[in-house]
Chain A
Amino acid sequence: MTMPARSSLLGALAFIAVAAVAPWMPPWLVSLATIAFANALVVLGLIILWRTGLVPFGQALFYAIGAYAVALIGRYTSVRDVFVVILAGAIFAGIAAYLVGFLLARYREIFFAMLSLAMSMILYGILVKTETLGSTDGFHVEAGTFFGYRPQGVWLNLSIYWLVLGFSAVMAWLVSLYFRSVAGSLSNPIRDNEIRVEFLGISVDRLIHLKLVVSGILAGIGGALAALAVQHVDPAMAYWTTSGGFVFVTILAGAGSVGAAFVGSLVFELVRSIAIDLVPGEWQMILGTVLLLTILFLPEGLGSLYGRLRRRKDAAS
């Protein structure tokens, strides 16, 4: 079997497995995995930029826009269908990414990172100052419906979990297709030598602009799903610590594979909730240690473990 086919099959089986076991999972784990996989979509977007040598320190901007789009539609309209509101979140985040992209796509390295951070902090400031949107407290998000059906009780959480998994599977597949496209294959070349890319007839800025929009849409979908899952939005979703969390997970997962984003995000949420249980005051210290160990011993992230295992198996057989 070819490499991509093997990876796709493995991925599909993994998604079916984590979807099937849900009814037997403890409710806290369902909630945790829901948020983890929603956030993994944001991380997929970071990986796209990361491979080009760009690290956005303000990706929470698009995450928050996706979330607030869902929340505002619930507040001011009668539209409740999850697919419609998520689509709206994706569109608004995509438009925002398209607009800031005109500025951001011209910058690289630390300037790109800081400008991205600055953009997210502007939104944070606006949300905090806006009393009608609950200021720092945020506000409640109306529960979604699935083609008119409104799940109740445990089924609500399970439905959202399956919804997140469905989006995750589709997005993971689309992103892996993207990585094998001409545009997606130009990440490494751009990082290596922009002059050569330009002299092959490609506008590097325009390509980075495209990557920004794609990553913005992914972050918007992640934020929209998170808002539906938590049923609450607040400005912290746009805060730099949220962006930092996405960068953290990207380092933990590694930019090598699509699947790693989901594993990495799940590990991150598990470590965080265990750390908060163990040492409520200093859980950041544990997360920091995990980050340090990852950088020291797994610089290519969790995703590289799979590659190492397979190589060992291939060598043995």
Chain B
Amino acid sequence: MSDILVVRDIEKTFGAVVAARDISVVVPVHQTVGIIGANGAGKTTFVNMITGHLTPSKGSIHFENKDITGLPSRDIVRLGISRSFQVAQVFPTMTVLENMRIASAIANSRDSILDRLFRPIDAPGAVVEADAALDLFQIARYRHAKAVTLPQGVRKLLDIAMAVAGSPRLLLLDEPTSGISIEEKFGLMEVVMSALKTRRITVLFVEHDMEIVGRFADRVLAFYDGTVIADAPPKAVLADPKVQTLISGTQRAHVGQADA
């Protein structure tokens, strides 16, 4: 199996704050990687660096053997890495269908201003794809609701559905279940993960709930204080004494609490 993502020794500092340091990770294709760690451990910073939202202060990131370190996020998206956000990023004043159509239409257009000037937004291909995506993520019955009125879980699903529209080969999900009740979390993850499996997308997802991590991840990265303290299959990581004292203990204190 070849490696889709190779992260070497990246570091991110904000002034005196070291948000991430000495992070090296190699991800083979089709793996599903869970990322755990207390609030402020650097998980979002890690996702932000891979997706170009932040530029690493040090180190390199390769995607499919291409150096993507420091590229703007829009270029990284077009190379095949997409993401969803801890706080769902959708278009609040537009309906679910309009949101999805925009994402599909962009995915179906070539990367040229002229192409986008002359391609109608309601081209049949994109419309069909948008409908299919809403079905796949099981949010079709909200199609005419404005995104701002959506329940948290539906908004998260829409965010992920839009991220998947461009057929990424690597998808990063930053806390897909944050702000969602414990009863709904498993259902949402089932929907997301089975959708991603059918498309054979490599996934990195940030998650606080150890049960969910154990159920969906092939491998777990444990973050503590900006660095990776454990990297192994879920069972091994959860049994790791360092993880138990540094993360699982604090984890319980954070249950149900969404961080910024």
Contact = CB atoms under 8 A, between A and B. Distances in A.
Contacts of B109: 182
Interface residues of A, number: 24
B94 interface: yes
Contact of A182 (B74, B77, B93, B121): B121
B166 A201 contact: yes
A178 interface: yes
A206 B117 CA distance: 13
Contacts of A196: 89-91, 162
A183 B116 contact: yes
Contacts of B74: 198-203
B87 to A, nearest CB: 10
B122 interface: yes
B102 A200 contact: yes
A196 B103 CA distance: 9
11 contacts: A180-B121, A181-B118, A182-B106, A182-B121, A183-B116, A189-B102, A193-B91, A198-B74, A199-B83, A202-B106, A203-B74
B92 interface: yes
A192 B92 contact: yes
A195 B91 CA distance: 10
Contact of B111 (A178, A188, A193, A201): A201
B253 interface: no
B120 interface: yes
Contact of B162 (A183, A186, A200, A203): A200
A273 to B, nearest CB: 38
Nearest to A192: B91
A196 B98 CA distance: 14
Interface string A155-180: 00000000000000000000000101
Given A180-B121, A182-B117, 5 more contacts: A193-B91, A195-B85, A199-B82, A200-B162, A206-B113
A188 B106 contact: no
Contacts of A87: none
Given A201-B166, A206-B113, A182 B94 contact: no
Contacts of A182: 105-106, 109, 115-117, 119-121
A183 B92 contact: no
Q: How large is the interface on B (under 10, 10 to 19, 20 to 34, 35 or more residues)?
A: 35 or more
A185 B117 contact: no
Contacts of B177: none
A210 interface: yes
A17 B106 CA distance: 39
Instruction: In the A-B complex, list the 6 residue pairs whose CB atoms are closest, starting with the nearest.
Output: A192-B91, A185-B121, A183-B116, A201-B77, A182-B116, A196-B89
A93 B78 CA distance: 33
Which secondary structure dominates where chain A touches chain B?
helix
B125 to A, nearest CB: 12
Contacts of B119: 181-182
A114 to B, nearest CB: 26
B100 to A, nearest CB: 11
B106 A200 contact: yes
Given A180-B120, A180-B121, A181-B119, A210 B113 contact: yes
Given A185-B102, A199-B163, A201-B111, A192 B93 contact: yes
Contacts of A206: 113
Contacts of B60: none
A185 B121 CA distance: 7
B51 interface: yes
A178 B117 CA distance: 6
Contact of A201 (B78, B89, B113, B115): B78
Contacts of A192: 91-94
B120 A199 contact: no
Contacts of A180: 120-122
Nearest to B79: A201
Q: Which of A178, A180, A182, A206 has the most B CB atoms < 10 Å from its CB?
A: A182
B73 interface: yes
Nearest to A178: B117
Interface in B29-78: 51, 72-75, 77-78
A180 B106 CA distance: 13
Contacts of A189: 91, 94, 102
B89 A193 contact: yes
A181 B121 contact: yes
A240 B85 CA distance: 43
Q: Which of B83, B89, B162 has the most A CB atoms < 10 Å from its CB?
A: B89
A248 B223 CA distance: 55
A156 B121 CA distance: 42
Nearest to B101: A185
